[in-house]
Chain A
Amino acid sequence: MTPALEATGLGKRYRGGWALRDLSLAVPEGRVVALVGPNGAGKSTLLHLAVGLLDPTHGTVRAFGEPVRQAGVAFMAQDKPLYDGFTVAEMLRFGRTLNPGWDDDLARNRLAELEIPLRRKVGRLSGGQQTQVALTLAVAKRPRLLVLDEPLADLDPLARQDVLRALMSTVAESGMTVVFSSHVVADLKDTCDWLVVLNRGRLQVSGDIDELVAGHRVLRGPVEAADAIADRLPVIAHERTDRQATLLVRSAQPVPDPRWHEHRVDLEQMVLAYLRDPGSSALPRPALAALGKDDRPWSG
């Protein structure tokens, strides 16, 4: 199947240096993708490349096998593209005029379900409602791929939940692929099924969330036995006292040594461990082959 989003050797250099380097990934269609990373990791750069608002310095990015500008991709920027002085109805007319594939019924039904009055000025809506309007403008273009840059960043917990509920309903109805960036992992646990972790402009993790979580485990055992584990398995994080070692390892199989007590890792714990150790990565094999061995400390 053609990936919904595919990047090969993607790099972007600004005057200040590389914002993104040597990134290769493929996201299957119908996924809800969490793009995670600290500030300055290159998340916004990647998203702008993915929607064709930036041109890559190196490599290519395609959506559904086509150049991204032609592929039915919609984007919601972090500073939501709304005009405070417009009414909601005027924003809809604006969207209709600019977009040939615009679905006006979908937009109106969605706003009616959310109880957002069409005659209200955008500037007088709550932050959550403004996000819902911006999201409606993106969804009404009927994109196959919807890209959202920090859609939840300035919302209170209740509004975040409302936005996520509406977004998930739209995904259930349309089957579209969604990529959204966030630095709050808790928001992503139940909504996303694919994880992409960026750190310092490099790709660290790309994969199915259930498989990633099932493929990592926390081991606790005697400190003198820790090196033997580290020789056999990629260790993402470790803590040691004089007697006890706690290791986060990447392994789909239990460790057969009875001295090690093991338990499951949760998504947040796993993401934080990768972010703390930029040298670690968990990538599918084709992407690995594309990475330069010399400039990539690979712990596996």
Chain B
Amino acid sequence: MIDFHLDRASGVATYLQLVHQVKHALRLGLLRPGDRLPTAKDVVARLAINPNTVLKAYRELEREGLVVGRPGMGTFVERTLGGASPAARARLHADLSRLALDAREAGLDQEDLEALFASVLGDTYREEIA
């Protein structure tokens, strides 16, 4: 089970914040297929938000095929995100850690490295689309 939280100053629509948090949890393996998402009542009792907002977020996740609603039982994770195998994931994690250390030794701070990484990501995925 995951807990939702809200960044009220972010300007991101509340239902999208919930959608992003579920996807993030799926990518990190915190949510796995078969897990139940919190009920709308649980979420609104914690966050003081409109229940329709929670339902809207769950509908969006359902539309993307990530969860499925079973009437009377709840909403369940259907598939996960971040397709790589655990081994590949661990290797990439180690590679990136090494790279982050390298960058720090070369004098980059966190924001420098984030900007560099974002720019590399942009280039890589743009090539893929082209």
Interface residues of A (CB under 8 A from B): 30-32, 161, 164-166, 168-169, 171-173, 189-193, 210, 264, 266
Q: Which of A161, A173, A193, A266 contacts B41 (CB 8 A)?
A: A173
Contact with A along B5-33 (1 / 0, CB 8 A): 01010010110000000000000000000
Residues of A within 8 A of B48 (CB): 161, 164-165, 168, 190-191
Find out whether the CB atom of A190 lies under 8 angstroms from the CB atom of B41. Answer: no
The chain B residue with its CB closest to the CB of A162 is B48
Interface residues of B (CB under 8 A from A): 6, 8, 11, 13-14, 39-41, 44-54
The chain B residue with its CB closest to the CB of A166 is B45
Residues of B within 8 A of A171 (CB): 44, 50-51
Q: Give A178 Cβ to nearest chain B Cβ, in Å.
A: 10
Residues of A within 8 A of B47 (CB): 165, 190
Known: A165-B46, A190-B47. Contact between A172 and B40, CB under 8 A?
yes
The chain B residue with its CB closest to the CB of A32 is B50
Residues of A within 8 A of B54 (CB): 172
Q: Give B120 Cβ to nearest chain A Cβ, in Å.
A: 28
The chain B residue with its CB closest to the CB of A186 is B8
Q: Which of B39, B45, B50 contacts A191 (CB 8 A)?
A: B50
Report the separation of the CA atoms of residues A166 and B11 in the bound assembly, to the nearest whole angstrom: 25
Identify whether the interface residues of B are mostly helix, strand, loop, or mixed.
helix
Q: Give A33 Cβ to nearest chain B Cβ, in Å.
A: 11
Report the separation of the CA atoms of residues A264 and B13 in the bound assembly, to the nearest whole angstrom: 11
Supply 9 further A-B pairs (C-beta < 8 A) apart from A30-B52, A190-B49: A32-B50, A161-B48, A165-B45, A165-B46, A168-B44, A171-B44, A171-B51, A172-B51, A266-B11
Find out whether the CB atom of A169 lies under 8 angstroms from the CB atom of B11. Answer: no
Find out whether the CB atom of B49 lies under 8 angstroms from the CB atom of A191. Answer: yes
Residues of A within 8 A of B45 (CB): 165-166, 168-169, 172
Report the separation of the CA atoms of residues A164 and B13 in the bound assembly, to the nearest whole angstrom: 19
Can you list 17 pairs linking A and B with CB atoms under 8 Å apart? A30-B52, A32-B50, A164-B48, A165-B44, A165-B46, A165-B47, A172-B39, A172-B40, A172-B45, A173-B41, A189-B8, A190-B49, A190-B50, A191-B48, A191-B50, A264-B11, A266-B11
Residues of B within 8 A of A264 (CB): 11
- Which residue among B6, B11, B39, B41 has the maximum number of chain A CB atoms within 10 Å of its CB? B41
Residues of B within 8 A of A173 (CB): 41
Report the separation of the CA atoms of residues A103 and B39 in the bound assembly, to the nearest whole angstrom: 24
Q: Give B47 Cβ to nearest chain A Cβ, in Å.
A: 7
Report the separation of the CA atoms of residues A190 and B8 in the bound assembly, to the nearest whole angstrom: 9
Find out whether the CB atom of B11 lies under 8 angstroms from the CB atom of A168. Answer: no
Q: Which of A161, A166, A168, A210 contacts B51 (CB 8 A)?
A: A168
Q: Give B74 Cβ to nearest chain A Cβ, in Å.
A: 13
The chain A residue with its CB closest to the CB of B56 is A210
Q: Give B19 Cβ to nearest chain A Cβ, in Å.
A: 14
Q: Give B11 Cβ to nearest chain A Cβ, in Å.
A: 7
Residues of B within 8 A of A32 (CB): 50, 52
Q: Give A270 Cβ to nearest chain B Cβ, in Å.
A: 13
Residues of B within 8 A of A165 (CB): 44-48
Q: Give A262 Cβ to nearest chain B Cβ, in Å.
A: 14
Residues of B within 8 A of A168 (CB): 44-45, 48-51
Q: Give B62 Cβ to nearest chain A Cβ, in Å.
A: 18
Q: 8 tightest CB-CB pairs across the interface, nearest first? A: A172-B51, A168-B44, A172-B41, A164-B48, A165-B48, A190-B49, A169-B45, A172-B40
